Structure formats: C-alpha cells, structure tokens
Structure 1
Amino acid sequence: MIKSFFVLDFSYDVIDNIPVIFIWSIDKEGNRVVVLEKDFRPYFYAIPKDGSNLESLKNEIMKLGNLKSPILEVKDVDMKYYGNPLKALKITTQIPAYVRAYREEVSKLSGIKDVMEADIRFYMRYSIDSGIRPFYWFDAEVEDISLEKLRVSKAYLLKDVKKVYEDAFPELKIMAFDIEVYSKYGFPNPRKDPVILIGVWTDKGQEQFSAEDDDLKVLRNFSKFVVDYDPDIILGYNSNGFDWPYLLERAKMRNIKLDLGRRENSEPSQGTYGHYSVVGRLNVDLMGFASTVEEVKVKSLDNIADYLGVLPKNERVNLEWYEISSYWEDLKKRDLVKKYNLDDAKSTYLLKNVFIPFGEQLTVISGLPLDQLSMASVGYRVEWLLMREAFKYKELIPNRVEREYATYKGGLVIPPKPGIHENVYVLDFSSMYPSIMIKYNIGPDTLLKDNCEDCWVAPEVGHKFRKSPEGFYKRLLQELLNERREVKEKVKDIRDEYQRRMLDERQRALKVMANAFYGYMGWLGARWYSKEGAEAVTAWGRETISSASKIAIDEGFDVIYGDTDSIFVKGSGDAVALAKKISDLLALEIKIDKHYKKVFFTENKKRYAGITEEGKIDIVGFEAIRGDWCDLAKDIQKRVIEQILTSGVKDAVRLARDVVMRLRRKEFKIEELVIWKSLDKDINDYEVDAPHVAAAKKAIKAGYAVFSGGKIGYVVVKGSGKISDKAEPYFMVKDKNRIDIEYYIDKQIVPSVMRILDSFGVKEDEIKGGGVDITSFFRK
C-alpha cells in the first residue's frame, strides 16, 4: 500500500545484527506512526593513491572484515573532490559503529591516500542519501508490521520511496516544561537535592507536579504525563544545560528510568551539539534561539519573555533563584514558588510562537532536525545544507580537521564625519557577500592556484577563481536567493495571516542561510574551509563599497559613512536614481534601506544613532545595546541619544546631570546598578580575581549556588582596595548606603554618556555638576 508521512525525526538501533532506522512520523490522518528502514547500510569512502591497483586494494579491504560486522562490498565509484574528478572506493559494512574502526584500518593500507565521510551519523547519512528529511512529506510503499514497545498508532516497514516533497505541516502537539529544585546550600546537586516542582504548559493549559516531601512521585508523574499527552515537541529553556541532566541524574539516584520517549524504556540521552535526544519526539531548548536576541544582555527566561512581550514581568511572579529554597520552606510563600514555576513553563510555551516558525523553516532548508538545529551554530546549519547538496553532485564531503587560527582583512569602513547630519539615506547592497560569491564564482572548488587564462582575479589579494563551470557554492547560493525572491513576491498576494507568517519566516531563514555562507567559508571548523575564498569576498566587497562611494560623490552626494555593505549619503539629488545607477554600473543590487531625518556620528566607526522619518530611533555600537554596563548607565545613554535626536544637546546634558544628582540623593534601586559578567569557566580556573570572579567566590562562600557558564551580577560597595575587593553579589547587598556612588558616577554614568557628548564638545565636569557654562559649546 502507498501512504504519506510527515517526518519529525530519526533514530536507529541494531536489531538481530541488522541496523534499523526509525523514521518517526505523522500520517495524513494525524496518527503518530513510525516507518522502519531495514535495507540501508553504513558506508564510507577511501581515496586510492595515484597509480594504485584498485582490484588489489579492494581485496585487501575485504580481508579486513570480521564476522560481527563484515565488509559487505567495496566498489569503485566516480566522485569529485573540490570539483576535481577522481576514483574512490565505497566501502559498505553491516553495523554503523564499525565504520570508524574500519576507517582506521583502511587508512593504514599503503595504497590509500585518505578515508572520507566516516564521521557522518548513520541516520543522517540515510536522510541525505534517501532525500527523506525532517518536516518534509514522503509517499512510500509500506506494509503493516507488529512491533512491541512502541508508543505509536502504527508501525510500517518501508518497501519503496515514491516521492519526497514539501506540503503544509500537520498540527504538532507541543508541551513546555520547567523544573525547580531545592538546594539550601551551594550549587544544586541531584545526588542529594530533590526536584520540588515540574511545571508543564500545553494547549490544554497548565499541569504541575509537586513534591511536599519526596520527589519520586514527581518524576514518575511527569514521565507518565509526557507519555499520555504524547507531544511531538518538548520545549524547555536551558533544559539541555540544566533540566534534563538534573532530572536524569536524579532519576538514577531514585532507581527509576525517566521513560518518556516513543519507544518504551528509552530515556533522554545527550547527543550532538549538547542537545538531549528524546526518542520519537523533538526536544527543543529555546535558549539556543534566544541567544540571537542581541538586545537582551542577560538572556534569562523572564528577560527574554518580557522583551519579546509574550509574558511581561508585571504580569507574572518574579523570584530570584536564590530565594526559591527559603520561599519553599515558608508555607505561606510556597504558593508563590508554584506560581513562579508555572509562569516559567507558560513563558516557554508562549515563546514557541516567536522562535519555532523560524526554526521550522531553518530545518526545512538545512535538513537538520529541529532539536539539533536549536543548539547548532550557524556554521553547522550551513554545513548540513552543503552536505546534502554535495551528495546530489557526487561531491565528496571533506573531513573535519584542526586548523591554526588565521586572520584576513575584513570589509571597508569609510570613516564617519562626526556630528549631526540631516536628511541622510542609507544605501544597502542586497545580500552583498552572497552576491559577490555568485558574481565571481567564489568557492573552495573553483579556486585555482596555477596559471589560468579565463579566471576572476580578486583585487588586492590576487586569488583566482575559474569563470566556468559554476561552482558548488554559486549553484546553491543562486537557489537560495532565487527562492527568497520568489517567496517575497508570493507573500504580497497572501491575505491569510498564518500563511503570510510562514512565508515571511521562510524568506528570513533563506536570507540568514545565504548570508552565512561567507562566514562559513572562513570558519576554522568548516569542512569546506577556504581562507582564500573568504579573503577574496572581502576584497571584492571593499572594492564595491569604494566604487559605490565614488559614484555617489560624482552624482553630487556627500558620503558621510560607509561600512562593509552600505553607504550613508546626503544631498539634494535623487537617492532612488543614485541607487539605480550604482546597481547598473556595478551589477550588484543596492537599495535605499533607511531614510534618517537626523543622524549623528562620533569619530569612531560602527557607532552612530539616527531617527527615521517614522520616528524610530536606531542605536548602533553604543553601550545602550552592548557592553558590560549597569542598567542605569545603559538607560541614561539611550535617553541621552534620544534627547539629542529629538530636542538637542542642551537637554541631553541636563538629563545626564539629573541622573548624577539622583544618584547622589540615593534615588535609585540597587537592581539598576547591577553589573553582569559571564563566568566562562570553573571559578577555580580563574588566575586573576576580576570583580565578577571575586563576587562569585563571595556568593559561594555564603552558600549560594553559582552556575559555571552562566552570569553573575554584582554591585560595587564602599571600601578600600581594588574594585575586586569591593564587588559584592547584588543579592547580598540590601542597604543603599553601602553603594559606592562615586564609582558609579565616575566609571559608569559619566563614561557612558561621554561616549556621545564628547563629540559635541561637552566636558565631564558639566555632567558631574562642575558649574561650567555649557552654552558656548553648542553652535548650529
């Protein structure tokens, strides 16, 4: 019979010495099913040395086989490596785990130059070869089979794949969860500290499992709930970093299994990129997506949910992590902990609407399952797309190798003209680096190091790339950019809000993937690494920006700034006509990205702020959106910028002085002065006691849990010695009188606003209240 299946995820097992791939799916009727593939076998490639006798090598390799996993076949095949044709030996065995063992043995043979593609996970190898990929449908001839210990409606044996295609997603069942643990002293330890709460949120509302005295029931009830609700996606926030490892270790201590997968007796297990795999379900840690929200410095769940508006802080219970144990002990406050836990679960659930549609489209494009994709870097996402494309073109996938750190010259920056400018247009090259890669056929497989008569030669660096045939990168980038253009056109005619959202997420995912190709090429961990390619792209980019600037000047415009792929111009001419002329002359699309009523620059590159025709204020490069400053310093800097753009420098100075006076009058909240820093390694590995390290040690000594790899917040209090001696964990300081006010004025507030005001001739004394007449500094 022929049936249709929507793919969620893959797993595999060895049953009766046969590797079996489980394709976890949903059928057209909405049933959760699994399709079993029993005929696919693991393989890798060996590259013979020039002049080697292939038949002799085949015989030598066959002799390496053993009974547990015999070598089934050694076949010579025509492949390409970086675009160059070659002969390779495809070596097929029985059990996936033996691929790596055979790789080592084959590589030692005298006639073998290299072995390749031995490090690709078996089920992903199958996905690449078959074309069956996550969030795609496939039609296949299957037969019903009976398989015990599976939590699905039906199981099928795959006989023949008829078609793989995109279509509308079925409705996916999603649940979110969050845990609370009780730890009176120090970092929570699952060997002794119980799980007191597990909050769950689904489309049906909330559930909560509570431990008044014993957490064994909590663990069992949570597992039972997951099995009964049967979610396709399980959402957490930092669940890979904390919740799952804690629950697993705690279950082990209580002598039970955290059995909640779609195969019985299957616990979550740690897989690639640090994610935890739940068999038959997609475990998605949303913190992986939240890491891209640059505007939020401390990416806690409550901060992210508040910033994105899914659950504002004023609509939920807010507790500090160090308060949970004491609140739990107090029966009058225990309900607050329960509500806090459910609010976290609800926040996680609601964040699905922000992150999951985009993640789904990235999965469709890259082929990387959503749970892995949420934790994988952009480089790995690009690489899986490249690996899938490589298979289509019989291009061997390079091995991953360690490389020494290498740098190269980046994009061109035209120095800014400091001061305030009005009526400024930002002309931005559309997907500049991908377009350059397409225009000049740049890629690791088109790079030529010998003499050539028909090549593109990169300016400054001199790297050469053949003009034809088209390279691996060019073909794929053209597909991505063409599809994006088609999607953007299509979305204009769509009225259905859901469809519009999906298409918009698709075009955004296509843009992100295409723009990542240049960075991937220069990433030291890339399989298809090419420093020459990355250097050539930036060299052509510099030439492009320089040429665009010259055209603008020739057309009577003043270029006040340029950076990598855009130029800022002002003048009385027609900016639309200018953009068209640049596009025509350079054969690269450039368009008006923004029109600022007013914009100001300091003398530093990549640092400006502007207000658009619509009244939106953009701030780039200042501490208002980056840097380790307290909230008060960031807030006043942002407000000073806004004041300059809306009412002028005098009002901005007045505003800054008011904040200094407010500090001296102690009209502040301690939370406004917290300075956050990351603890990138174990506290004992720090050789120097930086302020945040000193604060972390004080917190640990006082019995508080401090998370390695997380952030520590501290304030600076009065006292003698270095700043490190005066840094205290913010939650241990309750009295405002302890705060070192002058430190915050001298090292936080004044420096943050002087980054802007210094360009207008303002002096520090004017901010601190030195009594200088400031009017002489302002001229129109």
Structure 2
Amino acid sequence: MELAFWLLDITYGVIGNTPELRLFGITDDGKRVLVLDRSFRPYFYVIPSGDVNAVFNNVKRKLEGKVLNVEVIKRKMFGNEVDAIRVTATIPEKVRELRELAAEVPGVEDVLEADIRFSQRYLLDMGVKPSNWIVVDQCEEVKGNYQVDLVCLAKSRPRMIEEHKLPSFRVLAFDIEVYNPRGMPNPDRDPVIIISTMTKEDGVKMFVVDDNKNDAKIIREFLDYFRKYDPDIVVGYNNNGFDWPYLVNRSSRVGVRLALSRMGNPPEPSVYGHWSIIGRANVDLYNFIEEISEIKVKSLDRAAEFFGIMKRSERVLIPGHRIHEYWDDKNKRDLLLKYARDDVVSTYGLAEKLLPFAIQLSSISGLPLDQVGAASVGARVEWMIFYEAVKRGELAPNREERPYETYKGAVVLEPRPGLHENIAVIDFSSMYPSIMMKYNVSPDTLVLGDCGDCYVAPEVNYKFRRSPEGLYPGLLRILVESRRRVRDLMKKYPENSPEWVLLNERQRALKVMANAMYGYCGWLGARWYRREVAEAVTAWGRNLLRTVIEKARSLGLPIIYGDTDSLFVRNISDKVDALINYVNNELGFEVKVDKVYRRVLFTEAKKRYVGLTVEGEVDIVGFEAVRGDWAEIAKDVQENVAEIVLTTGDVGKAISYVKSVIDKVKAYQFDIDDVIIWKTLDKSLNEYKVLTPHVAAAKQLVEAGYKVGKGDMIGYVVVKGGGAKLAYKVKPYILIKDIREVDVDYYVEKQIVPAAMRILEVLGVKESQLMEGKAGKSILDYFS
C-alpha cells in the first residue's frame, strides 16, 4: 500500500544484526503511524593521501570480515573532485571502532562523516526532512507493540512532497511544582506536589498530592492520563532543564516507571541537551524565548505577557523559593493552585504562538521538531547545509577544535550623545546574505592562488570564483526564492486564515535561516568554517556601508549613528527616499525604513541607546536591564526611567521617581525578592579560585546543609557588616531572617543610582540630584 504521513519523530533500533529506522508520523486522516525501514546501513568515508587503489586495498584487508562493503567513489571536497573510499558497516554501533581501525591504515589522510547520527544520516540520504509530508509508495502492514494505529514495513524509499498544510496535532502542555523547604529541590528527597496539564480538548487538569505528599500516586495518575490522551507534541517551559529530569528521577525514586513514549520508555536525555520522548515531540518553549531579545527577563510570566497571553497583574506570582510556604499554609494553598494553573495556561498559550514557527524551522533545517529549539543556531544552519552538500556530492569536513581568532568586523559609527527627535532607522534587508549571493562567497569558491575570473573582496583581497555557484550562495538562493514563492502564495488566502498563518510562519523561518548563514560562516564550531569567507563578507559590508554614508552626506542627510547594517538618520522624508532609491537601484541592495523613533537617547558608548518609537514602544539596547547580575529593583528603575524620560519629556519627573524609590528602599519598603541578585554556578565550587559573591553565598548554603552544584542558580543579598570585599557582605536570600539585615546603602549607591544614571547622565543629571533631590530641567533643554 501507499502511505503518506507528516514526519513527527525518527529513531532507530537494532533487530538481530539489522538496523531498523523508525519513522513516527500522522496521516491526513489523523492516524498515528510508524514506518519501519530495514534497508539502510551506516557508512563513512576514508580519504587517501596517495594512490587511491593502494589505500583501498589496505583498508579492505584491514576491515575484512568486519564490514559489508568497501568501494571507491567520486566526491567533492571544498568544490574539488576527490577519490573517496566508502566503508559500509553492519550496525551503527560498529562505526566508531571501524573509523579508528581505518584511520590506522598507511596512506589514509582523513576519515569523514563517521560522526553523523544514524537516523540523521538516513534522512540526509533519503532527502527527506522532519515536519514535512512524506510518501512511501510501497509499505507492508506488520504487527508491532507500539502506541500507534498502524505499523508498516517500507518496501521503497521514502520521498518528500511539498504540502503547505499541517495534520491535526494533539498538544499537551505540562508543568510541575515541587516542595522545596531547603531551597533548590532534590528529587531524592523533595516530592512533586502538583502536576498541571492543559490540552485543547480537556482544558486544565491538575494532579495534586494529599497532605501526606504522596507523589507516587499523582505521578501514576499523570502517567495514565498522558497515555490515554496520547499527545503528539508535549510542551513545557524549561522542561528540558528542570521538569523532565526532575520528574524522571523522582519517579524512579518512588518506584514509578514513567513509560510515556510510544515505545513504552521513559523520557531520556538526548542531543543538544533536550529530552526525547520517542514517537512524540517534546518541545521546550524556553529555548525559543531565549532567542527573543525584546524579552529582557526570560521568565514564563513575562514571556506570556509579551505575547498577550496573560498580564502579570492578572495572575498569581509566587517566587519559586516560596512554593513550600504556600503549600504548608492551607490558607495560601488555593493561591498556589491558581499559580500552577496560570503557569500551565501560559505555557499552552505560548505553544500556540511559538509552535507554528518551530515547526517551520524544523521543516527547513532538517532537525526534528523536538531538537530544533534546543540546537544552536549554528547547528540548525549546518544541517540545512548538509542536505545541500549531499545533493551536490560534497563531503562534510570533520568538526574540529579551533583556537579563538578575531577579524575585522562591521562598521560601527560613534553615536552623537544626547536626545534626538524624529529619527529614521534605515535597515539593509539581509545585507550579508545578499553579499554572499552577489559575490559567490563560499568555502568551495575560495581561491587561494591566482584567479583569472574572480570577485576580489575589498581590503582583504580574498578571491572567489564567479562560477559555478557555491554551496552557500546556492543554498541562500533556494531560501530566498522559496520565501518569494511562499509570500506570493500568501496573497491567495485571507489574512490570519489558517493557511495564511502557516505560510507566514514559513516565510519568517526562511528569512531567519537565510540571515543566520553569515553567523555560521564565522562560527568556530562550523564544519565548513573558513575564516577568509567571514572576513570577506564583513569587508564587503564595510565597503557598502561607507559608500551609503558618503551618499547620505552628499544629500545633506544628518547621520546620528550607524551599526553593521543600519543607519540612524534625521527623518527628512525626501532625502531618506533619495538615499533608499540610490541603494536599491544603483548599488543593487535592498534597504527600507525599519522604524521611526519619536525620541531616541544615545550615550557616548556604541550599541547603547533607548528609543521611543512613533507607535509608543520603548526600546532599550545595551543597558543593565538585560544583564543578570543586577537586582530586580535596579532593572525596574532603569526601564521606568527610560520610559518616563522618553514618553513625558520631563527629566524632573524621572529624578523624582528615582528619589521615591530610594526613599522606599531606605525605609525598607520593599520585598526581599526585589534585591536578590542571581548568578549561575558555571563550575563546581572547588574549581573556583577567586571568591566571588555568588560563590561565597553558595558556600554558606553548603554549610547550612543545602546541596549546591554546577548549574545551580544562586540567589544572594548584600547585607550589612562584613569586610570591604563584596564577597564578605553577601548572604543567601533563603537564610535572611529579617529584611533589615539588607544593606540598603549598597542597593542605593551601587545598583539603583548607577542604573538610573546610565540614562540620566547623558542629560546632564548629576548623582547628587538623585541623592539630594535638586530640581531637574525639561527634556526640551537637552535636544540635540
């Protein structure tokens, strides 16, 4: 029979001495299917340094009886044709041993592609990608003990078809709350007290322990419900970092086998730090929020507010370290339950916003849906390059450790400090990808010697063949043309219809992946890394931006600031239009007005400004508000000062606001949570040679009987007394008995005032005005 399905997950097993690929999917009519393919075998390449036939014979003798086949095959390496020896193994587990044996053979220069995961190797060779529709022309139904509707054995190669639609998914959001009277909870000791789920069909369900905190019971109830609902996609917020490892370890501790996969296995850690639930896609939404720069604080409540799912003012907010207090106090327990409900509703709401984009990233990159968020941007781009390389017969270089090296980057102009009104930001659309396509910049087109027909990069003088089209430009052109096709297709559907939304997410993902190509060029972990490629692209970029700056000046258009691929200019419409026409028509690059600021404030530092757009949004770029080593109160002060200055035009009001915060702090009118400073232990305590504040706090926790280790977030407060060094003046927040222990002078002088002054000092405000309350001026006095 013919079987068409949307590919959700892939894994493999070994039956006897035969590897078996397992492709889990969903059909158009909603059946959950598993396609088995036993026809594929693992392989790798051996590159000879001398006579290929001699090396071939030596490799064959060395591996005789251990492999299925050894053959010589033509391939390309950085665009040049080479003779490669392909070694085909019996099962994936043998590849590492065979690779080492082959590397010992005299005349072997390198062994390539031996580190590609078997399931991903299969997808690459078949030319199919997850999160796409796949057809198997001949598939024979077989028996199998899996949680699916149909199991069949492939009798033909799978092939990918282009279908702009999605199957009907079952999506389950989940979240756990843990009893934590000792701070950081420990699954060997601390029970799970609430497991919350939300689905479209059943709404919110909550599994809550009894007063004896018997969590084995609720874990079993959750397991039963999970298997009955049978989700295709499971979503959480930091579930890879906390919920799954904790729940799996806790289940093991209380004797419950957490058999959640469609093969009856518990979740297990996998590549990129994600947790795999075989046959389903486990998606950690936190991975995607981490990449959204507009969300400064990455907590679930702030992410949900950013996307308009739930306002922070309308939900219950409980600091994580106080969960146990709300459980122990029965008068507060309902608030804890409401908090847990708000968390899972927020998680489900985020999934509705983020999953469509995640699915398209998976579809384009070739990484399975459960891996694509956890993978780095570089890894996503690399798998996309892999597919194109396989089509071209291009071998993938090995990943290697490279020493850190710098090269000249983009043009960044010195900003004009002060306040500016009516500023347009002119933005190049995909500057670096456009340069790579225009000048055929790619590792396989780089010419290190003489070249008669090459593009030559300015300043650095690296040469790139004009033809044939290189790996990077070719892939970029596919992405650009695909995006153009998708955007044309969008015009056929009403805006915000399901089809339009799906296509919109696809064009957005295509754009993101194209823009990430340059970053991959300069990523030291890249297989196809060539420093000359990255250097040449930035050189052409600098040359382009300087040309545009000269044109702007010749037009009499004042430039306030410039950075990489954007210029901040006075918003004089006819001159802005003339500059845009020049770049688009004469230089052949696409630019547009990205945004217009009603007011923007620059400091003397590059990449640091705050602006108020004409739509009323406040942008804060390069300030402490985004850093993790400042207390929440300092972050709030800085954000509020920026908003007051830009929206009201009243510096005096901003000064008064800061003074009011200082007065409240000195009167101890704040919550302990406002002054906690959070820092992660990035190594074990005994590895630290210098006593920093968070290490000092961690050592106090250990002395108090708490378990602390690498990766833990340490929350500490600066208290009165101690020595001159800050590390001697800190205390873990959990050990604070009285808020009056807090050193309020430290928070005023080292946190609140400096955070405010980063913005106000550009306007001529002195620290003494914040401390003493001298009158401020109108913002109009500071216009440039």
Query: Normalising to structure 2: TM-score of the pair?
Result: 0.93
Aligned twin of 2:191: 194
**Structure 2 contact 428–589 (Cα < 8 Å) conserved:** yes
Q: Give 2:103's aligned residue.
A: 107
The answer for the alignment partner of 2:405 in structure 1 is 406
Whether 1:206 and 2:204 are equivalent positions in the alignment is yes
Does the CA-based 8 Å contact 1:322-1:705 persist in structure 2?
A: no
* 1:149 pairs with 2:150: no
Structure 2 match to 1:760: 763
Specify the alignment match of 2:83 in structure 1: 87
Counterpart CA distance in 1 for 2:678 and 2:184 is 19
Contact map agreement 1:295 1:625 (CA 8 A) in 2: no
Cα distance in 2, alignment partners of residues 644 and 197 from structure 1 = 44
> Are the aligned partners of 1:186 and 1:703 in contact in 2 as well (CA < 8 Å)?
no
Cα separation, 1, equivalents of 2:651 and 2:172: 51
Distance in 2 (alpha carbons) for counterparts of 1:475 and 1:202: 42
Residues 652-667 of structure 1 mapped to structure 2, 5 A cutoff: 652-667=654-669
Q: Are positions 1:375 and 2:377 aligned together?
A: no
Change (3 A) 1:297 1:496: closer
1:257 aligns with 2:270: no
SS at match of 2:511: helix
Counterpart AA for 1:745: V
- 2:182 matched to 1:179? no
For 1:196 and 1:571, the matched residues in 2 are separated by 57
**CA apart distance, 1:177:** 1.8
Residue in 2 that maps onto 1:243: 243
Counterpart residue identity of residue 447, structure 2: L
Question: Cα distance 1:28–1:686, how it changes in 2: closer, same or farther (>3 A)?
Answer: same
3-state SS, counterpart of residue 495 of structure 1: coil
Aligned counterparts of 2:509 and 2:567: Cα–Cα separation in 1: 25
Aligned partner letter, 2:638: Q
Contact 2:700 2:731 in 1 (8 A): yes
8 Å CA contact 1:442–1:474 kept in 2: the answer is yes
Q: Given the alignment, which residue of 671, 680, 683 partners 2:682?
A: 680
Structure 2 residue matching 1:758: 3-state secondary structure: helix
* SS across alignment from 1:414: coil
Residue 140 (structure 1) aligns with: 136
TM superposition shift of 1:485 = 3.3
Shift of 1:297: 4.7
8 Å contact from structure 2 (residues 651, 777) kept in 1: no
* Counterpart code for 1:94: T
The one-letter amino acid of 2:729's match is K
Change (3 A) 1:701 1:286: farther
Q: Give the C-alpha shift of residue 13 in structure 1.
A: 0.8
3-state SS of 1:542 partner: helix
CA contact (8 A) 1:760 1:777 kept: no
Give the superposition deviation at 1:539: 1.3
* Deviation (angstroms), 1:65: 4.2
Which residue pairs with 2:589 in the alignment?
588
Secondary structure of 1:574's counterpart equals helix
Q: Give the structure 2 partner of residue 470 of structure 1.
A: 469
Alpha carbons of structure 1 residues 307 and 679: separation in structure 2 relative to 1, 3 Å: farther
CA distance in 1, matches of 2:770, 2:183: 43
| SS of residue matched to 1:524 | coil
TM-superposition CA deviations, 1:102-140 (whole Å, max 9, x none): 111111111322111111111111111112321111222
Cα pair distance change 1:655/1:343, threshold 3 Å:
closer
The residue number in structure 2 matching 1:509 is: 509
Q: Deviations over 1:259-298 (max 9, x none)?
A: 121123x222221111121111111122222212334455
Percent of paired sites with the same residue: 47
Q: How far, CA to CA, are the matches of 1:655 and 1:246 in structure 2?
A: 43
Separation in 2, partners of 1:618, 1:181: 36
- Conserved? CA contact 1:599–1:610, under 8 Å: yes
The amino acid that maps onto 2:251 is A
Distance 1:630 1:117 in 2: 47
Q: 1:559 to 1:302 in 2, by over 3 A?
A: closer
Corresponding letter in the other structure for 1:361: Q
Judge conservation of contact 2:297–2:626 (CA < 8 Å) in 1: no
What pairs with 1:522-533 in structure 2 (closer than 5 Å)?
Answer: 522-533=522-533
Closer, same or farther: CA 508–147 of 1 in aligned 2, 3 Å: same
1:519 alignment partner in structure 2? 519
**Whole-angstrom CA distance in 2 between matches of 1:444 and 1:715:** 51
Shift of 1:658: 3.8
Q: Residue 629 of structure 1: SS of its match in structure 2?
A: coil
Counterparts of residues 293-442 of structure 1 (less than 5 Å): 293-442=292-441
Measured against aligned partners, the alpha-carbon deviations of 1:489-519 in whole angstroms (never above 9, x if no partner) come to 4435531523332222222211221111111
Do the aligned partners of 1:142 and 1:156 also contact (CA within 8 Å) in 2?
A: no
Worse-matched range after superposition: 765-774 or 372-381: 765-774
User: What is the SS of the residue equivalent to 1:421?
Assistant: strand
What is the aligned partner in structure 1 of residue 2 from structure 2?
2
Asked whether the 8 Å contact 1:21–1:38 carries over to 2, the reply is yes
1:742 aligns with 2:739: no
1:576-604 C-alpha deviation (Å, 9 max, x unpaired): 12111123332211111122233232211
- In 2, Cα distance between equivalents of 1:517 and 1:761: 43
Which deviates further from its counterpart, 671-680 or 33-42? 671-680
Q: Tell whether 2:602 aligns with 1:601.
A: yes
Q: Partners in 1 of 2:144 and 2:669 — Cα distance? A: 67
Contact 2:418 2:602 in 1 (8 A): yes
* Match 1:76 to one of 69, 72, 83: 72
**Structure 1 CA distance, aligned partners of 2:296 and 2:618?**
19
User: Where do 1:13-52 residues align within 5 Å?
Assistant: 13-52=13-52
2:59 matched to which residue of 1?
Answer: 61
**Deviation string, structure 1 residues 156-195 (Cα, Å, up to 9, x no partner):** 1111247411321111111122223345446433334433
- What do you get for the CA RMSD once the two structures are aligned? 2.6
Counterparts of 2:769 and 2:491, CA distance in 1: 53
Q: 1:570 Cα shift?
A: 1.9
AA partner of residue 38 (structure 2): K
Question: CA 1:732/1:778 → structure 2, altered by over 3 Å: closer, same or farther?
Answer: farther
- 1:705-740 per-residue CA deviation (whole Å, 9 max, x = no partner) reads 657424333332322423223223335446443332
Residue matched to 1:126: 122
CA distance in 2, matches of 1:667, 1:182: 29
Contact 1:761 1:777 in 2 (8 A): no
In structure 2, how many angstroms separate the alpha carbons of the residues matched to 1:637 and 1:57?
Answer: 66
Corresponding letter in the other structure for 1:517? M
Aligned to 2:640: 639
Counterpart pick for 2:754 among 751, 754, 760: 751
1:183–1:755 distance in 2 versus 1, CA, 3 Å: closer
Output the amino acid matched with 1:768: M
Which runs of 5 or more structure 1 residues have no equivalent in the other structure? none
Distance 1:294 1:569 in 2: 23
Deviation at 1:208, TM superposition (A): 3.2
* 8 A Cα contact 1:322 1:704, kept in partner: no
User: CA deviation digits over 1:548-578, x for unaligned, max 9?
Assistant: 1000001111112111111112274431121
Match of 2:160 in 1: 164
Q: Under a length normalisation based on structure 1, what TM-score does the superposition of the two structures give?
A: 0.93
Distance 1:388 1:355 in 2: 25
Task: Pick closer, same or farther for the CA change 1:558–1:671 going to 2, 3 Å.
Answer: same
**Aligned in 2, Cα 1:183/1:424: closer, same or farther, shift over 3 Å?**
closer
Aligned partners of 1:551 and 1:582 also within 8 Å: no
Alpha-carbon distance between aligned partners in 2 of 1:522 and 1:294, rounded to the nearest angstrom:
21
Aligned residue number for residue 500 of structure 2: 500
- Offset, 1:700: 4.5
Q: Which letter maps to 2:241?
A: G
Distance 1:343 1:508 in 2: 29
